C-alpha cells in the first residue's frame, strides 16, 4: 500500500518521481512526498492526499528551475500506519541535520525503544512515524560515511524495510536496502531507478536487479554496487523484466489470468529467491521473526484462510506434518473466528491471504492474537492490513494479481509454506543432507512450472473437448487432495461449470452416484505415495462410464493406461509436485472458460478482495 520511487540520472527528477508515484497509486495511499537534491541541499515537498495534490503543491511552491536542475531524488506514497496521514507524517523524513532524507516501506518494530534512546541523546522528532526514527538513527550513526551509517543503523532495527536514502554529503548516490519489503532497481542508460514495484520502472527500462533481504545497494546514475549489511559485496544478476510496457497492462495476453499463469516461473523465483540456505539445508525467512528456540518449542501450527488461500493452507498441513513432525491443522477463517478455537502460546497461527484484506482472515488473526497464539501472516500485498496487524510473516512477492481467479498467489503460497516447513523441519526432524536435498527441489520449482506452461497448447486442446460439460469431479489423495479442491474451484469460478473436488477415496461414499456416461473426472494420479489407490478409484469411475482426464507424472506409462486423456507433469518431490499440478489445472480451467466464452478476469458475482463477512 506504500510505494517507493527513487531516481538518479539526467532527467527532471521531480517530474519523473511524480509520474512514478502515479504508477504506484493502485496500491492505495493517503499522502505522498518527494525529496530532490539541488545544489548540494535536499528540498522536500509533502502533502496529504493524492499524488496529484503533491504535484500541484510542488509546482506551486518550488522554483520552476528546480524541476529542470534537480536530477536526483526519492519519493513515496504512504498508507498511514504510525500516525495519521498528515503532511508531517508523510515521507521523506529527514535526520536532525537535514542532510539525510529517507523513504521507507515496512515497519520498524522496535522504533519506540530506538526513539527513546535517541531522544535521550537530544534528538527531536516531528512526526509519529517509525520511519523518522530510522532517519535519525542513520544520522546518529553517520561518522562521515553514509553507507556505513545505513548499515550500522539497519543492524539495530527489527522489523521490515525497503528504503531509499538521499544524502546531501554524497549527492551522486542513492542508498537502497531491503528486508522483507521489496526493492527493485531499474538499470537504464545513464539513469537508475529504485522502486518498491516494477510498475514504476517498466516504462523506462526492462533491465532490473531484485535486491534480496539484507542487501544494501549504492546506486549512482551508471552503477549499482550491492553489499550485505556487513559490507561484503554480493552479486545480483541483472534480469529482464520481460514485460512489454507498450502492450498495456495485460502485456499482450488476452486475459490477466493467462498472463498471471504464465508469470509463475518468475513469481515463484521471486518468492524463493534468497530464502534457501544451501549450507544449512534450511530456509531463511527473516520476516517470521522467530528464534530457533521458539520454533523448537512450537506444539502446533494452525493455518487459516479462505478460498484459494485455504487450499494452499491444506497443502501446508501435509508439509508441516511430513517435514516438520508438527501437528498441523487448517481452519476456514470464518469458522475459526466464531468457534472458540483453543489456542495457547505454543501454537503458531499462520494467516494466509493474497490480498491481506479478507475480512474473515483478518478477524481470525485478531482472535488468535487475543488468545495469545504466536501469529504470523503469509500475504502477497505488501503493507496490507493482515500483514501489518500480524507484524511478522512472509511476503509472497508474487507481484500484483489482478485476475479475480487466484493463480500465481496460490503457487507462491505453497512454495513459501514448503520453505516454512523446511525451516521448521530442520530444527526438529531431519538432518542437513536431507534439508539440502529438499532445498534443491524447492529451488527447481520455477523450472518444473516452466515445463507445465510449455503444455499450454495441448492443454487448451484437451479443454476444448470438455468445454460443453455441465458437471466435473476432481479427485486426489494426500497433498494432491487440496490441489483437486483448488482445480475444482478454478473451474467453477471462471467457467461456471459445476465442479466438485473430493478425496479420491470419498467418491464411493456418495458422490459416485452422480457419475454418468462421459461425466468428466479429473484425477490427480501423479507418481507419489497413494497413486495405486487412486488408480483403483479411477477404475471405479471408469466402470460407471466416466471420462478420465489424468494428471500423471511424466513417463508413467502405467498411470497413462488408466486415462482417456492425460497431462504429464515433471517428476519431483510429492509436496513440490503440488505446484506444477496446480498450474496444469489452472491452464485447464482457463481454456475451458475461454472455449465457453466466459468473462474470465471478472467472473459474475465475485470480487478480488472480500472485505465483508
Residues lying near ligand M6R in the complex (CB under 6 A) are found at 306-309, 353-355, 358, 361, 404-406, 489, 493, 609-610
Output DSSP code: residue 8.
E
Q: Please, what is the minimum distance in Å from the beta carbon of residue 411 to ligand M6R?
A: 12
Cis peptide preceding 92, ω within 30 of 0: yes
Displacement of CA 181 from its chain's centroid (Å): 10
Q: Please, what is the minimum distance in Å from the beta carbon of residue 447 to ligand M6R?
A: 25
| Closer by beta carbon to ligand M6R, 235 or else 612 | 612
List all residues 6 or more positions away from 209 whose beta carbon is below 8 Å from its beta carbon. 184, 185, 187, 217, 224, 226, 236, 237, 238, 239
Q: What are phi and psi of 169, to 5 degrees?
A: -75, -25
CA geometry: angle 385, 77, 388, nearest 5 deg = 20
| Closer by beta carbon to ligand M6R, 385 or else 469 | 385
Q: How far is CA 264 from CA 186, 367, 612, in A?
A: 21, 33, 29
Which one of the listed residues 2, 151, 379, 572 is annotated catalytic?
2
**How many whole angstroms separate alpha carbon 70 and alpha carbon 72?**
6
Using DSSP's 3-state secondary structure scheme, residue 418 falls into: helix
Q: Please, what is the minimum distance in Å from the beta carbon of residue 13 to ligand M6R?
A: 36
| Closer by beta carbon to ligand M6R, 167 or else 354 | 354
Q: Please, what is the minimum distance in Å from the beta carbon of residue 423 to ligand M6R?
A: 22
| Closer by beta carbon to ligand M6R, 18 or else 485 | 485
Q: Please, what is the minimum distance in Å from the beta carbon of residue 76 to ligand M6R?
A: 25
2 has catalytic annotation: yes
Please, is 545 exposed, middle or buried when counting C-beta atoms within 10 Å of its C-beta (0-12, 13-18, 19+)? exposed
| Closer by beta carbon to ligand M6R, 322 or else 360 | 360
Nearest to 565 by CA among 576, 550, 554: 550
**How many whole angstroms separate alpha carbon 586 and alpha carbon 567?**
12
Residues 14 and 66 sit within 8 Å (Cβ to Cβ): yes
Q: Please, what is the minimum distance in Å from the beta carbon of residue 354 to ligand M6R?
A: 3
**How many whole angstroms separate alpha carbon 582 and alpha carbon 567?**
12
**How many whole angstroms separate alpha carbon 264 and alpha carbon 543?**
37
Residues 21 and 32 sit within 8 Å (Cβ to Cβ): yes
Displacement of CA 104 from its chain's centroid (Å): 18
Q: Please, what is the minimum distance in Å from the beta carbon of residue 124 to ligand M6R?
A: 41
Mind spelling out the 3-state secondary structure of 30-74?
A: CEEEEEEEECCEEEEEEEECCHHHHHHHHHHHCCHHHHHHCCEEE
| Closer by beta carbon to ligand M6R, 435 or else 603 | 603
Mind spelling out the 3-state secondary structure of 513-563?
A: HHCCCCCEEEEECCCCCCHHHHHHHHHHHHCCCCEEEEEEECCCHHHHCCC
List all residues 6 or more positions away from 273 whose beta carbon is below 8 Å from its beta carbon. 210, 212, 397
| Closer by beta carbon to ligand M6R, 174 or else 409 | 409
| Closer by beta carbon to ligand M6R, 445 or else 485 | 485
Q: Please, what is the minimum distance in Å from the beta carbon of residue 445 to ligand M6R?
A: 20
Which one of the listed residues 250, 492, 533, 608 is annotated catalytic?
608
Displacement of CA 368 from its chain's centroid (Å): 23
306 has catalytic annotation: no
| Closer by beta carbon to ligand M6R, 460 or else 610 | 610
Question: Can you spell out the DSSP letters for 310-327?
Answer: HHHHHHHHHHHHHHH--E
| Closer by beta carbon to ligand M6R, 4 or else 302 | 302
Residues 22 and 51 sit within 8 Å (Cβ to Cβ): yes
List all residues 6 or more positions away from 53 whose beta carbon is below 8 Å from its beta carbon. 32, 47
**How many whole angstroms separate alpha carbon 106 and alpha carbon 180?**
8
Q: Please, what is the minimum distance in Å from the beta carbon of residue 79 to ligand M6R?
A: 17
Indicate the residue whose CB is closest to ligand M6R. Answer: 307
Q: Please, what is the minimum distance in Å from the beta carbon of residue 357 to ligand M6R?
A: 7
Do strands 184-187 and 192-195 pair parallel, antiparallel, or not at all (unpaired)? Answer: antiparallel
Positions annotated as catalytic residues are: 2, 608
Amino acid at each position: 500500500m506504500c510505494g517507493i520511487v527513487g531516481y538518479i540520472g539526467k532527467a527532471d527528477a521531480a517530474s519523473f518521481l511524480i509520474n512514478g508515484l502515479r504508477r504506484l497509486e493502485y496500491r492505495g495511499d493517503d499522502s505522498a512526498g518527494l525529496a530532490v537534491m539541488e545544489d548540494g541541499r535536499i528540498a522536500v515537498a509533502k502533502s496529504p492526499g493524492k499524488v496529484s495534490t503533491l504535484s500541484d503543491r510542488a509546482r506551486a511552491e518550488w522554483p520552476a528551475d528546480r524541476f529542470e536542475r534537480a536530477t536526483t531524488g526519492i519519493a513515496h506514497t504512504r498508507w498511514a500506519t504510525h500516525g495519521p496521514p498528515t503532511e508531517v507524517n508523510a515521507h521523506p523524513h529527514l535526520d536532525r541535520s537535514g542532510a539525510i532524507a529517507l523513504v521507507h516501506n515496512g515497519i520498524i518494530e522496535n522504533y519506540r525503544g530506538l526513539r527513546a534512546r535517541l531522544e535521550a541523546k537530544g534528538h527531536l522528532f516531528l512526526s509519529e512515524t517509525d520511519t523518522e526514527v530510522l532517519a535519525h538513527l542513520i544520522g546518529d550513526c553517520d561518522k562521515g560515511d553514509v553507507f556505513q551509517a545505513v548499515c550500522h543503523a539497519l543492524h539495530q532495527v527489527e522489523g521490515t524495510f525497503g528504503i531509499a536514502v538521499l544524502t546531501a554529503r554524497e549527492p551522486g548516490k542513492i542508498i537502497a536496502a531491503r528486508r522483507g519489503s521489496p526493492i527493485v532497481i531499474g538499470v537504464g542508460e545513464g539513469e537508475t531507478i529504485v522502486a518498491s514495484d516494477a510498475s514504476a520502472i517498466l516504462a523506462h527500462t526492462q533491465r532490473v536487479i531484485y535486491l534480496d533481504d539484507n542487501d544494501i545497494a549504492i546506486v549512482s546514475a551508471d552503477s549499482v554496487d550491492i553489499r550485505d549489511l556487513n559490507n561484503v559485496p554480493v552479486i545480483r544478476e541483472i534480469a529482464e523484466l520481460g514485460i512489454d510496457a507498450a502492450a498495456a497492462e495485460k502485456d499482450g495476453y488476452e486475459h490477466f489470468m493467462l498472463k498471471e499463469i504464465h508469470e509463475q516461473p518468475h513469481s515463484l523465483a521471486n518468492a524463493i529467491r534468497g530464502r534457501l540456505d544451501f549450507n544449512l539445508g534450511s530456509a531463511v525467512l527473516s520476516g517470521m521473526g522467530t528464534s530457533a528456540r521458539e520454533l523448537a518449542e512450537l506444539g502446533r501450527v494452525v493455518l487459516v484462510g479462505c478460498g484459494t488461500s485455504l487450499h494452499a493452507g491444506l497443502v501446508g498441513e501435509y508439509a508441516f506434518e511430513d517435514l516438520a513432525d508438527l501437528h498441523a491443522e487448517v481452519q476456514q477463517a470464518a469458522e475459526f473466528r466464531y468457534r472458540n478455537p483453543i489456542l495457547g502460546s505454543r501454537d503458531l497461527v499462520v494467516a494466509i491471504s493474497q490480498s491481506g484484506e479478507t475480512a474473515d482472515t483478518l478477524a481470525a488473526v485478531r482472535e488468535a492474537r487475543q488468545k495469545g497464539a504466536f501469529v504470523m501472516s503469509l500475504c502477497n500485498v505488501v503493507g496490507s492490513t493482515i500483514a501489518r496487524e500480524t507484524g511478522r510473516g512472509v511476503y509472497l512477492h508474487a507481484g500484483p494479481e489482478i485476475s479475480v481467479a487466484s493463480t500465481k498467489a496460490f503457487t507462491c503460497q505453497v512454495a513459501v509454506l514448503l520453505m516454512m516447513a523446511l525451516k521448521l523441519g530442520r530444527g526438529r526432524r531431519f538432518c542437513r543432507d536431507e534439508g539440502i536435498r529438499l532445498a534443491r527441489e524447492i529451488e527447481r520449482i520455477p523450472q518444473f512450472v516452466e515445463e507445465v506452461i510449455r503444455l499450454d497448447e495441448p492443454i487448451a486442446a484437451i479443454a476444448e473437448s470438455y468445454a460443453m460439460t455441465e458437471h466435473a469431479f476432481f479427485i486426489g489423495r494426500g497433498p494432491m487432495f487440496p490441489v483437486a479442491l483448488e482445480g475444482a474451484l478454478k473451474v467453477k469460478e471462471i467457467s461456471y461449470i459445476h465442479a466438485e473436488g473430493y478425496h479420491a477415496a470419498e467418491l464411493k461414499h456418495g458422490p459416485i452416484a452422480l457419475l454418468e456416461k462421459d461425466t468428466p473426472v479429473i484425477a490427480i494420479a501423479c507418481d507419489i505415495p497413494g497413486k495405486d489407490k487412486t488408480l483403483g478409484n479411477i477404475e471405479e469411475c471408469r466402470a460407471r462410464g466416466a471420462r478420465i482426464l489424468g494428471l500423471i507424472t511424466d513417463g508413467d506409462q502405467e498411470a497413462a493406461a488408466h486415462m482417456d486423456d492425460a497431462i504429464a507433469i515433471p517428476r519431483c518431490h510429492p509436496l513440490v509436485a503440488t505446484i506444477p499440478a496446480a498450474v496444469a489445472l489452472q491452464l485447464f480451467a482457463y481454456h475451458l472458460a475461454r472455449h465457453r466464452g466466459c468473462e474470465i478476469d471478472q467472473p459474475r458475482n465475485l470480487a478480488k478482495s472480500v472485505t465483508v463477512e
